[in-house]
Amino acid sequence: MARVLDRHPGNADGDWYVDTRCIDCSTCRQLAPEVFEQVVDQSLVVAQPGSGAALIGAWRAALACPTQSIGTVSRQHRPEGLFPQELDDDVFLCGFNSEHSFGANSYFVRRPEGNLLVDSPRWTHLLADPIEALGGIDDVFLTHSDDVADASKWAEHFGARVWIHADDHHAAPFATQVVAGREDTEIRPGLVVVPLPGHTKGSVAYLLEQRYLFSGDSLAWSPAGDLAAFRRSCWYSWGEQTASLGRLAERHRFSWVLPGHGERHRGEAEDMHRRLVDLLSRMGRR
């Protein structure tokens, strides 16, 4: 719950506010960019939401905030059914981001072959109950060591298998499905694990149906409106990240990029491929 006594003085006048515990993860700015902006080292309310999409976005931001730093002075009643939020064809944004993963996004996908969770939100029945109503979770796919969060709790609750690359297995020793090596592997029809060492040694992406790229922290959409990688947050090897994204460009196409950190985006597959090639050129010059 947001702390009104810690309300940041820079918030716009009105009911909604962000308190000073904000860690500047950008989650709220992704969900309600008309309400929240980055100011110095945190997000603040720059325009009070009125009604409609702006208000729904503010409520989603409040639920997703990993430090629960967003609230209303009047303690407004929260609407129901905000998460999971469907993005496209039974692909959902989970919300309820975890501080343990610095506010990384996670995703739930419903498919006849088995439902999946990509990376972990924080554990809460506010999300688990609607996911259970959608058929539960068969597999938890972890993109890398940073975004494990409450994966063990989700797996235990739903009896799900947990997947991670061997080089990041130390972060999720409870994972029983361990991917090894640097070759792409189809782990079930239409779902390919793509090793992307660089951000961490064991970073991977999961490519679903040659359409949805769950990219972890290896690739994202930037506020500037293009594909981007995070040089300052590359913990293992920038050279290997460049090379691994090059292999992705050679072998695959995708129309959605669905990252842990950074913004989501859907585009035409060939345009996304061109943007990835352009990004690789920029990465090689850095």
What's the confidence (pLDDT) of residue 2? 94
Contacts of 165 (CB under 8 A, 6+ apart): 144, 178, 179, 180, 193, 195, 202, 203, 204
Domains of the chain, by residue range, sit at 4-72, 85-285
pLDDT value at residue 232: 94
Would you state the pLDDT for residue 62? 98
Question: How would DSSP label each residue in 131-169?
Answer: HHHTT--SEEE--SGGG-TTHHHHHHHHT-EEEEEGGGG
CA distance 159 to 136: 9
Model confidence pLDDT, tens digit, residues 73-82:
999 989 999 9
Mean per-residue pLDDT for 83-91?
98
Q: What is the mean pLDDT of the chain?
A: 97
What's the CATH superfamily of 85-285? Ribonuclease Z/Hydroxyacylglutathione hydrolase-like (3.60.15.10)
In 25-179, where does DSSP find H-type helix? 27-31, 53-64, 125-133, 151-158
Of 137, 131, 130, the C-alpha closest to 116 is 137
Residue with tokens 């088995």: 114
Least confident span in 74-83, 87-96, 198-207: 74-83
Q: What pLDDT, on the 0 to 100 scale, is given for residue 95? A: 98
104-157 pLDDT, tens digit each:
999 999 999 999 999 999 999 999 999 999 999 999 999 999 999 999 999 999
- Sequence-distant (≥ 6) Cβ neighbours of residue 95 within 8 angstroms: 60, 63, 64, 82, 83, 84, 85, 121, 127
- Taken as a whole, the chain contains a residue count of 286
Q: Is the pLDDT of residue 204 over 70?
A: yes
Cβ atoms of 35 and 18 closer than 8 Å: no
Residue among 83, 194, 74 at smallest CA distance from 130: 83
The CATH number given to 4-72 is: 3.30.70.20
Tell whether the model's pLDDT for residue 285 goes beyond 80: no
* Mean pLDDT score, 42-53: 96
Burial class of 51 by CB neighbour count within 10 A (0 to 12, 13 to 18, 19+):
exposed
Give the mean model confidence (pLDDT) for residues 244-268: 98
Q: What percent of the chain has pLDDT over 70?
A: 99
Helix (H) or strand (E) segment spanning residue 114 = none
* Residue 51 binned pLDDT confidence (cut-offs 50, 70, 90): confident
pLDDT band at 284 (very low <50, low <70, confident <90, very high): confident
pTM to 2 decimal places? 0.97
State how beta strands 227-228 and 220-221 pair. Answer: antiparallel
- Look at residues 226, 216, 224 and name the one whose alpha carbon lies nearest to residue 272: 226
Q: How many Cβ atoms are within 10 Å of 159's Cβ, its own excluded?
A: 9
Q: Tell me the mean pLDDT in the region 190-206.
A: 98
Euclidean distance between CA atoms 127 and 142, whole angstroms = 18
